[in-house]
Structure 1
Amino acid sequence: MIEGAILTARVDGDDRLVEADAAFMALNERAGGAIGERLATPQLATIVRLARRLQILVSRAVTIADSDVDLDCWVRATPGENGVALAVSPVRERPAWRPSSATGSVPPPAGADWTWETDAGLRVQRLLVEAGARHGFDAAAALGQPLTKLFALDSDEHGVLPLLEAVAALDDFENQPASLREGGARVMLAGHVKRDTGGAFAGFVGATFHQMVVPAQEAVALGSAFNRRLDTILRGPLGRIVATADSINAGVDGPIDPHYADYAADIASAGRHLMGLIDDLADIQAIERDDFTVEDEGIDLADVTRRAAGLLAVRAADAGVAIDRGDLDRPVPAHGEFRRSLQIMVNLIGNAVRYSPRGSTIWLRLQNDGDRAIAIVADQGKGVAAEDQERIFGKFERVDTGEPGGSGLGLYIARRLARAMGGDLTVDSAPGEGARFVLSLPAR
């Protein structure tokens, strides 16, 4: 197969191959297909079905097994009235993966106190211990049982279960914290992957290391570890989901049904909401630490407010809400950290935009009050009742959980940040009369 060549074909409404060029025909025949039959290459058949069902152009990379080579290809499927047109561009040809003919015995990790072995279902096949009574369990009774009947697995310092990640990745693992179900002794596990003669996952050859329990090491903040893990594993995939949904909505690969464009916009919006939640959780992890501090950079609160309003100008225009900036050109020096102050103002103005009716106005005002520099965000929304005005600054608190909105973390984080900078964040409001949020920082 020549790299860079374009293979073309067309299938009918029943996904049967009706015409193809010579190169595509040869590829399909080597996979056992023929004219008048369904495509013989599963990857191509899947893309064709997707394009036909959605009635949109589908374009993606696939790897096709072709005799003794693997073809990395870019496939483009274009639906039409009489079926789907295919264009396949081979990008790279490489030798096909071949499993080793024999795996041999896999040695356990070195230095173990005792070792074990599982099958692909993580059932214990072997236990090599000096004496079952010494370890607090019956070694013979453990055979054939799931590994988790022998060990209770714990998360590591990153909130991860290394053994489960190893199962997902079919890879070796180490430093899996655990305790024996019988007796509760603390141990650390490690393991090497076993494979059968076909190269498939066949279990682990594992090792057990006894631990000296150090109380300080045991007191890991699970919530913080969980938040860090969320940030690590979710931010990248969510970013790709949002980008892909935006591309579909924009019709980058060609026009699509308006309903699907709307679905894509909803997906992108939901993805951005989740990204915001990840940011909030990361902030909570930081601000709730005993050693959390902010920098005193010497800020201009007027500049911070101007920038926050600029960041939300498009959203406000889309919502039909006007932002009255008043006199933001007069400097208002204050003590605080620029990034955190901007975060607070973006949250306050963003909330005002979200809860303001179309055609209303948001007012931004600055003033000095003795040793305080003050920024005010006032809106014409439905307001906040007196009994709710303190509650809305609580973690995960919202006045009306039934209406669209944020996670209930923004105001909690904003007040914590304001107080960390030596200031405060308060609200003055009444039902039906809008809300007036006041950020005060030490004047400079």
Structure 2
Amino acid sequence: MDRTDGLLGAYGLTDARDRLLSADAPLAELQERCGGDLPGTLAIPELLALVQQARRMGLRIARAFSAFDGDAEISGFARIHPLAEDDGGGCEVLVENWQRSPLTPPSARDFAEKIDAIDRATAEVSARLDARQRLQVLSARAADAAALQLAALAAPATVWSELVELTGITHHQPLHWRLLDGATCRFAGSQRHWRVRLIPLGTDVQNPAGFELLLIAEEPLTAPIEPDPAEDGAPETSPTRLVGTALTPVLRQPVARIIANAETIRARLAGPLRDEYSEYAGTIASAGQHLAAMLDDLADLEVVETPGFATAKEPVDLADAAVRAAGILGVRARNRDTVLVTEGVHGEAVATAEFRRVLQILINLIGNAIAYSPAASTVTITAHGASEGRVAVTVADEGSGVTPEQAERIFDKGERLGRDNDGGRDRGSGLGLYISRRLAEAMDGSLTVESAQGGGALFRLELPRG
């Protein structure tokens, strides 16, 4: 390789074990800033990948190159020339148009949004609060947060901080949300410490319309949940019991950490990164989210298939449940330009059921409608009276609908109606509708599907009137 050709930036020479034997000053300095020695193993990840590829394939490689030296971004055009074994079996490295540019820090808003996204991925407890920090709905993924979820259901519209013990804060509650964001808390049923995130909702952060509450565990869940003595000696009937009872609580936290770390890499919070590596990290984060959702489905599957499974009986306003479910999925809908319309008068369709399970069913139905309807379409959720002694809530979309044959199979366990090849959009387990129907039946109700008027699918959840 002629070192005088083109705009010379920096030259280096590696051996067959990818050790940098010699280098011009700029390349040698970058090697040291990346933690390497001269001579020593090439410590610049971006160059090392190119050198290994060129040496393995025996081909010259020429492509744009960028790296981070701890203070600034290094960029240029790298030419890698593999050498014959007689010449050492290494590579000549030439980086042309060597440039060192100061980093452009992300705006405060962009940085905050990335942190919020990471915290959402790792939170094991999430809730929606009104403008006065009163609970509207709370959902817990962690086994040791089940008691907190039950307490929230038993005390609707309670200020959230009354259900936890804030560490190091003794002032009268509720405090201004900025004083609580980042605080640490504990609550009954959990031995772990939890970091609090309060994310304001609405365009005016000085007067938020409400808040998104996230509780993020500072430690992994390691202690097993004590089994119910009444279940001792019960036959092992569920094929998912190993995952649902033993593995799901243990796997949930490591999976959440994988997602958080992948999101950190994808968002380039640790420094500049080539686009393809950022895309790889995004794929890892997406796969982690898919795995987390499957763990939740397997845990729910075990619950609904347990002999004698029963739900609580309480008054549930289906119009209120529809509004809350639509609020939870509002961001997902906006990302697809989908409009969620809720119809029904509060108090006119009150069922005897378990609110948490009704909300779970609606979130599954609305989430499916958003995913499989065309972008910029409308999903309508309607609460109304049904036949004598029954009330119902329907979810209608503007998608392709379901055929009579599909309607017969859509609630089968693991049924995906061929969506494995649906452009990669369906990343579900095929358990959501099966679980939803089992939950509906456990509440003495039913879950059915039919073609919506004007096209699309219409799912109907019927329950006993309260």
**TM-score (structure 1 length as normaliser):** 0.54
Contact residue 325 and residue 362 of structure 2 kept, 8 A: yes
Unaligned runs of 5+ in 2: 1-10, 51-64, 77-94, 101-232
Asked if 2 retains the 8 angstrom alpha-carbon contact of 1:427 and 1:438, the reply is yes
Which secondary structure state, in structure 2, belongs to the residue aligned with residue 247 of structure 1?
Answer: helix
Q: Check conservation: 2:314, 2:352, Cα contact below 8 A.
A: yes
In structure 2, the partner of 1:49 is 45
CA gap of 1:332–1:57, structure 2 versus 1, over 3 A, is: farther
Q: Distance in 2 between matches of 1:357 and 1:429?
A: 16
Structure 1 partner of 2:39? 37
CA contact (8 A) 1:238 1:271 kept: yes
Alpha-carbon distance between aligned partners in 2 of 1:275 and 1:437, rounded to the nearest angstrom: 26
Matched residues in 2 for 1:219 and 1:415: separation? 23
The alpha carbon displacement at 1:315 in A equals 1.0
Give the letter for the 1:257 counterpart.
R
How many Å apart are 1:320 and its aligned residue?
2.1
1:304·1:342 contact (CA, 8 Å) conserved in 2?
yes
Please list the CA deviations of residues 75-129 of structure 1 after superposition, one character each: whole Å capped at 9, or x if unmatched. 999765569x9xxxxxxxxxxxxxxxxxxxxxxxxxxxxxxxxxxxxxxxxxxxx
Q: Is the 8 A contact 1:287 1:417 kept in 2?
A: yes
Change (3 A) 1:240 1:365: same
- Aligned partners of 1:410 and 1:13: how far apart in 2? 57
**Residues 1:56 and 1:229: Cα distance change in structure 2 (over 3 Å):** farther
- The answer to whether residue 275 in structure 2 is matched with residue 253 in structure 1 is no
Corresponding residue for residue 409 of structure 1: 431
Q: How does 1:279-318 map to 2 (within 5 A)?
A: 279-318=296-335
1:398 aligns with 2:409: no
CA gap of 1:430–1:384, structure 2 versus 1, over 3 A, is farther
Deviation at 1:441, TM superposition (A): 1.3
Determine the structure 2 residue equivalent to 1:378. 396
| Displacement after TM superposition at 1:288 (Å) | 0.3
CA distance in 2: counterparts of 1:394 and 1:260, whole angstroms: 39
Counting matched residue pairs gives: 275
> Which SS does the other structure have where 1:393 is aligned?
coil
Contact 1:332–1:368 (Cα < 8 Å) also in 2: yes
Kept after mapping to 2: 8 A contact 1:386/1:430: no
Aligned to 1:240: 257
Task: Report if the CA contact (8 A) 1:283-1:413 is conserved.
Answer: yes
Question: Which residue in 2 is equivalent to 1:354?
Answer: 371
The CA deviation at 1:425 is 0.6
Going from structure 1 to structure 2, the CA distance change for 1:12 and 1:314 (only over 3 Å counts) comes to farther
Separation of aligned partners in 2, 1:279 and 1:57: 39
Alpha-carbon displacement from aligned partner over 1:385-423 (angstroms, at most 9, x marks no partner)? 101212110100122232232211000000100111111
| Counterparts of 2:308 and 2:256, CA distance in 1 | 31
- Over 3 Å counting, the alpha-carbon distance change for 1:51 and 1:347 in structure 2 is farther
Match of residue 231, structure 1, among 222, 236, 248: 248
Do 1:298 and 1:334's aligned partners in 2 also have CA atoms closer than 8 Å?
Answer: yes
Contact 1:322–1:359 (Cα < 8 Å) also in 2: yes
Structure 1: distance between partners of 2:306 and 2:258: 32
Indicate how the Cα distance of structure 1 residues 13 and 236 shifts in structure 2: closer, same or farther if over 3 A, else same: farther
Checking the alignment, whether the CA contact within 8 Å between 1:51 and 1:79 is kept in structure 2 is: no
> Superposition RMSD on alpha carbons, in Å?
3.6
Q: Distance in 1 between matches of 2:313 and 2:72?
A: 57
2:361 to 344, 350, 365: 344
Which ranges in structure 1 are unaligned for 5 or more consecutive residues? 1-10, 40-44, 60-74, 86-215
Aligned ranges 1:173-212 → 2 under 5 Å: none
**SS of residue paired to 2:353:** coil
Q: Distance in 1 between matches of 2:449 and 2:234?
A: 42
AA aligned to 1:293 is A
Aligned counterparts of 1:243 and 1:384: Cα–Cα separation in 2: 37
CA distances 1:153-204 after superposition (whole Å, capped 9, x unpaired): xxxxxxxxxxxxxxxxxxxxxxxxxxxxxxxxxxxxxxxxxxxxxxxxxxxx
- Per-residue CA deviations over 1:35-54 (Å, capped at 9, x if unaligned) read 63115xxxxx6x64368549
SS in 1 for 2:40: coil
Name the residue aligned to 1:140. Answer: none
**CA separation in 2, counterparts of 1:273 and 1:440?**
30
Distance 1:251 1:36, change over 3 A: closer
Q: Which amino acid aligns with 1:277?
A: M
439, 444, 451: which one pairs with 1:422?
A: 444
Give identity over the alignment, percent: 39
Say whether the 8 Å CA contact 1:50–1:58 is kept in structure 2: no
Does the 8 A contact of 1:48 with 1:77 survive in 2? no
Note if contact 1:393-1:415 (Cα within 8 Å) is conserved in structure 2: yes
Deviation (angstroms), 1:318: 1.1
Structure 1 residues 53 and 331: alpha-carbon distance in aligned structure 2, compared to 1, 3 A threshold: farther
Residue by residue over 1:206-236, the C-alpha shift from the partner in whole angstroms, topping out at 9 and shown as x without a partner, is: xxxxxxxxxx689675541244344144322
One-letter amino acid of the counterpart of residue 38, structure 1:
G
Q: Decide whether the 8 Å contact of 2:380 with 2:396 is kept in 1.
A: yes
Aligned partners of 2:13, 2:316: CA distance in 1, in Å? 65
By how many angstroms is 1:262 displaced? 2.6
Matched, 1:365 2:382: yes
